[in-house]
């Protein structure tokens, strides 16, 4: 315990720096994923995306980011193995944050959309298996994470394929796509409102005392879906045919879907902020909890408001400074997106997250969105997909877990050597 007594304040300051760096990486990579389809389809500009993210990501992180966060991320570590050596958990969480943040920086600089959840999970697995014990890792959880790599993109891609095909048949391939867009888009709006609400209720609001049951979540989501539909119909009634846009048969139709994309961007930003900020501040809360309790390893740790502020601020900073690179990959480099295609991708991603949450399958927002964008591209034919970019993305996914693990192992022993010698 003398390590905690002697260096407690220094350890907290270092972990805060690493936590902010990790939150910065979440903003540069993960938030960019949520905004990529909206920006790539030109429904909103990059500046509007940053403004939306600053407001809704921060609100989601602060209001619903979690009064209580699990310190042993996703049940990967057996906490009993750390009861007698709390300083090892501190060094491990510091190493995990810094390792995951470094990998996210590398990925973001290259425009690779990787999973922040898998980055931090890989880092925690690395330091636990090598620095503590192989038996201290719950390998069944690791198997679920690896399985989600395959399940989430396939499911999202399949849903996006059928959603876009439905839009083509009902709207785009008709004699009057603009009129049919105003007729059918409110139905899509209901499903968007319903699904995004379900994402928020199921994944985002557990930590603020709103632990709604499945039935309650469905009822509230239906109500919100109806409200969104009513508001959407009012906004759509204001859109008239623009004679200057007639050089493209679908230009006016895409203006209808652009209204829908603004809503999905705001809602996905809030849901993402409320759920994924824990990747950055969960380990920080663990370290602060251990040091505050004098060395007691807690399975759950209270979340001070200042940690949520630090996480929200880091997310916004990362998006502003580097988010445009991953936005470009998701929004333009995989396949060309329009508001119609971007909407299909976001609806499919939201559907996948809701379905996975209901069945307990751990999925990545990044993987679902990339899979959904691929599904939209497949609906237009394999030639519409940039296979070289897709190959680079899949390679970065495969490398994420071992990259985080190797970096975390090196940093863990470095911190251990600095503070224990």
DSSP 90: H
Distances (CA, A) of 169 to 126, 173, 174: 49, 6, 7
What is the per-residue pLDDT across 366-383, written as a single tens digit (0 to 9) for each?
Answer: 778 788 888 887 776 666
Range in 6-20, 48-62, 147-161, 305-319 the model is least confident about = 48-62
pLDDT above 60: residue 73 = no
Rounded average pLDDT over 5-18: 88
Average pLDDT along the chain: 78
pLDDT above 70: residue 334 = no
Q: What is the pLDDT of residue 64?
A: 60
Reported confidence tier of residue 53, pLDDT bands at 50, 70, 90: confident
The domain locations on the chain are 2-420
Q: What is the pLDDT of residue 332?
A: 59
What is the per-residue pLDDT across 140-159, written as a single tens digit (0 to 9) for each?
Answer: 877 877 777 788 888 888 88
What is the per-residue pLDDT across 203-245, written as a single tens digit (0 to 9) for each?
Answer: 556 555 666 677 788 888 899 999 988 988 888 888 777 666 5
Provide DSSP, 235-280.
Answer: HHHT----GGGTTSTTHHHHHHHHHHHHHHHHHHHHHHHHHHTHHH
pLDDT above 90: residue 408 = yes
pLDDT: is 328 or 230 the higher one? 230
pLDDT above 50: residue 71 = no
pLDDT above 70: residue 255 = yes
Q: What is the pLDDT of residue 21?
A: 93
pLDDT above 70: residue 113 = yes
Q: What is the pLDDT of residue 242?
A: 67
What span, in angstroms and rounded, lies between the C-alpha atoms of 88 and 128? 9
Segment of 232-236, 254-258, 348-352 carrying the highest mean pLDDT: 232-236
Q: 33, 32, 38, 47: which is closest to 263 by C-alpha?
A: 38
Q: 330, 334, 346, 316: which is closest to 378 by C-alpha?
A: 334
Percentage of the chain modeled with pLDDT above 90? 9
What is the per-residue pLDDT across 170-212, written as a single tens digit (0 to 9) for each?
Answer: 888 888 888 888 888 888 888 878 877 776 676 556 555 666 6
pLDDT above 90: residue 406 = yes
Rounded average pLDDT over 329-339: 66
């Amino acid at each position: 315990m003398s390590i905690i007594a002697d260096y407690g304040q220094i350890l907290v300051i270092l972990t805060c720096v690493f936590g902010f760096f990790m939150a910065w990486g979440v903003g540069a990579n993960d938030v960019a994923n949520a905004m990529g389809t909206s920006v790539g389809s030109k429904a909103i500009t990059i500046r509007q995306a940053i403004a939306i993210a600053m407001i809704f990501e921060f609100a989601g992180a602060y209001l619903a980011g979690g009064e209580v966060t699990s310190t042993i991320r996703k049940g990967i570590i057996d906490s009993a193995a750390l009861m007698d050596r709390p300083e090892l958990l501190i060094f491990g969480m510091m190493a995990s944050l810094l390792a995951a943040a470094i990998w996210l920086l590398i990925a973001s600089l290259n425009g690779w959309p990787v999973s922040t959840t898998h980055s931090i999970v890989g880092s925690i697995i690395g330091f636990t298996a090598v620095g503590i014990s192989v038996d201290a890792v719950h390998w069944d959880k690791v198997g679920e994470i690896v399985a989600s790599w395959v399940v989430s993109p396939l499911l999202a891609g399949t849903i996006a394929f059928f959603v876009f095909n439905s839009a083509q048949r009902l709207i785009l391939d008709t004699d009057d796509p603009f009129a049919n867009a105003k007729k059918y888009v409110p139905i899509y709006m209901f499903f968007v409102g319903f699904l995004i609400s379900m994402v928020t209720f199921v994944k985002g609001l557990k930590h603020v005392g709103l632990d709604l049951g499945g039935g309650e979540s469905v009822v509230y989501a239906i109500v919100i879906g109806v409200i969104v539909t009513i508001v959407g119909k009012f906004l759509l009634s204001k859109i008239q045919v623009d004679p200057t846009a007639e050089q493209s048969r679908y230009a006016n139709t895409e203006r209808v879907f652009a209204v829908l994309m603004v809503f999905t961007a705001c809602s996905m930003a809030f849901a993402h902020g409320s759920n994924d900020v824990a990747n950055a501040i969960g380990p920080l809360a663990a370290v602060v909890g251990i040091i505050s309790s004098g060395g007691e390893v807690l399975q759950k740790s209270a979340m001070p408001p200042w940690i949520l502020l630090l996480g929200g601020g880091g997310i916004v900073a990362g998006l502003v400074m580097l988010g445009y690179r991953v936005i470009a990959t998701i929004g333009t480099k995989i396949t060309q997106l329009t508001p119609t295609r971007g909407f299909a991708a976001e609806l499919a991603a939201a559907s996948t997250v809701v379905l996975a949450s209901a069945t307990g399958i751990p999925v990545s927002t990044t993987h679902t969105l990339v899979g959904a964008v691929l599904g939209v591209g497949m609906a237009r034919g394999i030639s519409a997909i940039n296979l070289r970019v897709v190959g680079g993305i899949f390679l970065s996914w495969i490398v994420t877990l071992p990259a985080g693990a190797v970096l975390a192992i090196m940093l863990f022993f470095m911190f251990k050597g600095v503070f224990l010698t």
